[in-house]
Each structure stands twice: as C-alpha cells, then as structure tokens.
Amino acid sequence: MSKKPEDIKERLKLCLFVTGASPNSMRAIANLKTICDAHLGKEYDLEIVDIHQQPMLAAEQQVIALPMLLKMAPLPIKRLIGDMSDTDKVLKGLGLSK
Amino acid sequence: MATKRTTKTKTSAPVTLPKVLTGIAGLDEITGGGLPKGRPTLICGEAGAGKTLFAMEFIVHGAMQFNEPGVFVAFEEKAEELTANVRSFGYDLNKLVAAKKLRVDHVHIERSEIEETGEYDLDGLFIRLGYAIDSIKAKRVVLDTIENLFSGLSNQAIIRAELRRLFEWLKDRGVTVIITGEKGQGTLTRQGLEEYVSDCVIMLDHRVANQISTRRLRIVKYRGSDHGTNEYPFLIDNEGISVLPVTSLTLANRVSSQRVSTGIPSLDEMLGGKGFFKGSSILVSGTAGTGKTSMASYFAYESCRRGEKCIYFAFEESPEQIMRNMKSINVNLEPCVKDGMLIFHASRPSLHGLEMHLLVIYKMIKKYKPKTIILDPITNLVSVGTVSELKSMLVRLIDFLQREQITVLFTALTLNTNVNEQTDEGVSSLVDAWLTVRDIEFNGERNRGLYIMKSRGMKHSNQVREFVISDHGLELVEVFLGPDGVLTGSAREAHQLLEATDDALKTFALGRKDREIARKSLMLEAQIGNLRSEFDSVKEELNKLYMEEELKKEVRKNNLEKITTLRRGGKTNSGSSTTKK
C-alpha cells in the first residue's frame, strides 16, 4: 500500500510511549518503524517517550497499557496499545487501511 | 447468635494484624480497628450501594484525621465530578489536594479510541500509581472501580495477570488499598476481583423490602482478624456513612438507683413517691386517645425543667402539632425547644427501614447527649417491619440507652380488641416499667383508668387510678369503689355528690337529736330545780316546827321556873330541881 495524499491532509503526529527497554517496548518500536517505513515514508512525526522518565505524562495522556502509540493528529485521536505486531490493526488505527 | 457477635466485637482488642482506622463511624468497631494495613480490601455492592463514598471517606478521613495521605484513582468519575459529589458531605477535596494530602487521578479508558495491536501490559497504570503515591507519600490508595479495565480492554488474560501483579506490587509498597467492585450474578463482583483480594472483603447492600430501602454492610471475609459477621445497617446522610454496631447484649450495664419524676405528682406517688429509675425504660400503652402523648410530653417537660436534655422522636405528629396540643393541657413545650433542651425529631415511620430509624436515633443521641428520650409511638414502626424485627431493634435500643444511662419512654397503641396486644407482648418484657391506660366504659361514657402493670425494683401501687386530663393538666384521681364496682368519671362524681348529700342529711339529723336531748335535759334541769326548791321549803317548814318546839320548851321552862320561884318565895333554885322530876 502506498501513501495516499488525499487521505492525509495533515501530517501524522505520533507519540509512542514505552517503558524503558522492556521486550514489549523494543518490539513495539521495531514494528512501528517497519510499518511506518513501509507505509508512510517521511510523512509523519514520531516521538518516543519513556514513561519511566516522565511519569507525569502518564496521567496527562491517560496512559494505562503499554506500549501505547498515541495518534494525536489527524483526528480522531487513537490509542494503539500492544507491541504493534498486528500490522493490519496498526494501519487501521492510523487510518491508513482501506 | 446475638451474643456471639458482641463477644466478637468486644474481644478484638489483642490485635495481631496491624490495622488502619477508616474513620467511618461504627465500622472501626465492627472490624476491631479498621482495615488490614498494607493490604487490599475489596468493597463490593450493587450500583448505588455507596461504594465510592465508602472509599472516598476512607481516603478523606485518612488525610484529615490520621495524617495518611491518599490517592484516589477514579476509573468512572472525573476529579471535578468527585469533588462536587462529596462536597455535600462537607469534604473539600480541592483543599486536600492543595495541601498534598490527596491526589485524585482520573483514569479514562475510551474503548473506541483504543486499538489492540499485540502484546501489552499495564505498566502505564503502575507508573501513574507509583508516581501519584510518591508525590504525596500516600499510605492509602483507592481504585474505584478497577473493573472498568475489563470493559476498556479486551484481552482478559492480560488484565487478570496484570491485576494479580498490581496487587502484589501494591502490597510491596505497603499501602492500604480499597478496591471497589460491582456485584455480579452469583459472585461478589462481576469480574471476580475477590480472586485477587483475599484479605478483606466488605459487601454493601441496598435492599428494598415493603418499598422501604435499607442499606446494609457485611464483612464477608477478614483474614487474620475477628470481625462481626452480621449484616449491619448503615446510613448515608449529610455527614457521610455511619454504621450501627450492634450494641452489647451481655447485660452487664451499670444501673442507677437515682429516680426521676414523671412530672405528674400523683403518678410519682403511685411509684413509691419518687418516679422512675434513671436510665430505665418505660412503656406507656393504651388505646387510642388515652393520653399517651400527653403523658410523654409531661415526662419530657419535667426532664427539661430538671435541666436535662430530651429528644422527642415523634412518629405520628409534627412538633408543632404536639406543642399546640400540649398547650391545651397546660404544658408549654415551646420555651424548652427554644432553649435547646427539648429536641423534636419527627419522621414518618415509612421514611426508612427500622434499622435506619435505630441508626437515626443512635446518631441523634450521640449528637445531643440527652438524658431522656421519648419514642411516640413505637407501634407505628411495625408498619415498616415485623413485630420480631421491631423487638430486636428495641432490644438493641434499650441496651444502648441503658449503657448511656438514658431514660426512655415508649408509647404504644393497643387496640381495643385485646387480641392484638402485640407490641405489649413483644416489648413489655424488656421494659422496666409498664403503665397502661385503659378505657373504662361505664354509664354511657368512657373514662381512662391507669394501671401500673409493672415497675421493677420499686414499691408501686396496685390501685387503678382514674386518669383525668383537664385544662390544668394531667391528674390521677382515686377511683371510687362503690357497691356497684369501680366507678369513674361522672359516675364517680355523682357518687361523691351522693355521699356528700348523705353526709349533710346525716349531720342535720344528728343536730336535731342533739337539740332534743339538750331541750330534754333543760326540762329535767328545771324539774330538778323545782324539786329542790320544794325540798327546801319542806326542810324550812320542818326546821320551823323544830325551832318553835325549842322555843316553846324554853318559854315553858322559863315560865315554870318563874312559877316555882314565885311559889317558894325566892327559892327559885330548889324549885327548878323539882320541876325536873
């Protein structure tokens, strides 16, 4: 699947919350990288936050399950939890699937 | 069963398990010191049972009274909503938050926003919680209600594993935790949270029987500690939750030999001249309109006059009504109310269940510390429970009152049929003194006869007294025992009049007789006088004759001497001797 500029009016703003170097977190980062590279090219901003380092953010961003990918823009806001191993669901969550 | 629970609540003094006080009135007594310290406690119950308030009180009391800051993790309500909800109970969460005594963390899980893309854990929750606990050095944590996780996330296996880990982690941190959970079908909680929380489980219940709801609390489980196992009613009012601990039934209450007046001198007279014992329970029963409320008001009034506080629990009439009615018999309760000596608490029995009434009475007593209370009438309470329930409630009430040395006066309505003297039977054995006012129907009118059925530990009259209610007040009048039996009312008065007439007639008759005798004696007196004067005159006559004779004798003698002298020619001496021959 290639990027569709008409679908993405805004740049994707993503934020991945992880906890240090837990296996889930490592997998999530790797999986997400793969997906983004394959489907988004450079059309996104990704921030990776280690919630251990900034625990205040956990309450602010309603973080419960980790790892969590927060799609802040474009709306609607989506929270993708898990190690991003289910590519279809990740794409659906990011609004990239058909 | 009853005694067992008291021993349980009583013997929990040597505590091995460290506990933390909840600050919820009554609960700490049942649990023997509060919830297990450093362990999770599950509070379960249906919607609206009071779980959130319970948990909030635990946190707020901890922060305010015990210097134990707390974290409230709300899965359902936002912090602002919670703050607004508990403001009506007088808790200002914002102030506590500002003072770093409290932290409210709203955990929001929006199912529609969430997409599960593989393996995950709940580290986020751990980190949030850990951060919140560290930021205020919290000792108490509430998770209300963690079950929302199950609706927000679909991977049950992960949630269950993580919950187990969460509780272990919380235990390691040494915080005392309350977890709330909605009651499920056949299980304590919908998601089986009890599986994770094995130390203490408290169930809240909100039952409706006969359209009257009663809240109850039961400690289902308390590992490592004695606890009351019964269902305890509890109340949520403007001061939050209060649980009514069942009072001791060991009958080891101290007693007083002090006496309190009934307010009716003639009734005191019947009770050995001094009235009731202080701290005793008195039942006044009678059919409708026999003056039970009047008697109760007298007692209340007398209490106030002695300077002792009194609470009047009215289940039938409003305070204004009672005050107005009592004015007509010369008892003005208004000043007492103004002085704060007399407190009225009027409520319909159907307002809430029996236990709730007991709780209200209990709370009122704790608040005002009266010396006398009045329940008028207890019979109405049967409408919200059965006779046996009422009895059990009264047993506990009397017990509590005795412990507090409060004199209580119950009034009870009995029905004329005599078949239905239920309340009498149920309660009369519990009370110390029992007065009953009965209708005496005779001569086309109804009058009230007062009997003292019993009065423990004092000499009391066995006589029936007529109970008269007039503009001046209550009075007991001795009934008239005539030849036709006991006479009351106008018959008594008629008989008294009759007696008075009789008396008057009798005295009149007596007077006449007296006068007759006096006259007769006067007559006799006169006769005696006559006779005496007759006697005098006879005596005088006799005397006269005698004197004449003497005189004659003298004269004759003189004459004879003269003659003899004459014959002898001067030898009068010899002459006299011859005449003597």
B576: tokens are 């006299």
Residue B521: its pLDDT value, please? 94
**Mean pLDDT, chain B, as a whole number?**
83
Q: Cα(B218)–Cα(B202) distance, rounded to whole angstroms?
A: 6
B175: tokens are 């915080």
Interface probe with B: pick from A29, A79, A81, A84, most Cβ of B within 10 Å? A81
Is the Cβ pair B108, A58 closer than 8 Å? no
User: Residue B473 pairs with which residues in a beta bridge?
Assistant: B470
Confidence band for B271, pLDDT divided at 50, 70 and 90? confident
Residue B9: its pLDDT value, please? 44
Q: What is the ipTM of this complex?
A: 0.85
Is the Cβ pair B114, A79 closer than 8 Å? yes
Q: Cα(B213)–Cα(B481) distance, rounded to whole angstroms?
A: 53
Q: Cα(B427)–Cα(B285) distance, rounded to whole angstroms?
A: 10
Residue B49: its pLDDT value, please? 86
B572 has pLDDT over 60: no
B217 has pLDDT over 50: yes
Is the Cβ pair B119, A92 closer than 8 Å? no
Architecture of domain B2-243: 3-Layer(aba) Sandwich (3.40)
**Per-residue pLDDT reduced to its tens digit, B149-183:** 888 888 888 888 988 999 999 999 999 999 998 88
Architecture of domain B261-478: 3-Layer(aba) Sandwich (3.40)
CA B112 vs CA A87, B20, B115: distances in Å: 18, 40, 8
- Chain A residues with CB under 8 Å of B125 CB are 64-65
**Per-residue pLDDT reduced to its tens digit, A21-63:** 788 888 888 888 888 888 877 778 888 888 888 888 888 888 8
Q: Cα(B261)–Cα(B274) distance, rounded to whole angstroms?
A: 6
B527 has pLDDT over 90: yes
User: Which member of B107, B117, B119 has the closest CB to residue A62?
Assistant: B107
Confidence band for B530, pLDDT divided at 50, 70 and 90? very high
Q: What percent of chain B clears pLDDT 90, i.e. is strictly above it?
A: 20
Residue B581: its pLDDT value, please? 43
Neighbour-count burial of B355, counting CB atoms closer than 10 A to its CB (0-12 exposed, 13-18 middle, 19+ buried): buried
A3 has pLDDT over 50: no
Neighbour-count burial of B131, counting CB atoms closer than 10 A to its CB (0-12 exposed, 13-18 middle, 19+ buried): buried
Asked if B97 has any chain A CB less than 8 Å from its own CB, the reply is no
Q: What is the DSSP string of B12-60?
A: T-S--S-EE----BTHHHHTTSSEETTSEEEEEESTTSSHHHHHHHHHH
- Chain B residues with CB under 8 Å of A71 CB are none
Identify which of B73, B33, B34 has the alpha carbon closest to the alpha carbon of residue B52: B73
B571 has pLDDT over 80: no
B108 vs B245, more confident: B108
For chain B, the structural domain boundaries read 2-243, 261-478, 493-572
Q: What is the DSSP string of B89-109?
A: TT--HHHHHHTTSEEEEE---
Domains B2-243 and B261-478 share a fold: yes
Interface probe with B: pick from A54, A64, A78, most Cβ of B within 10 Å? A64
**Domain architecture of chain A: domains with CATH:** 12-94 (3.40.30.10)
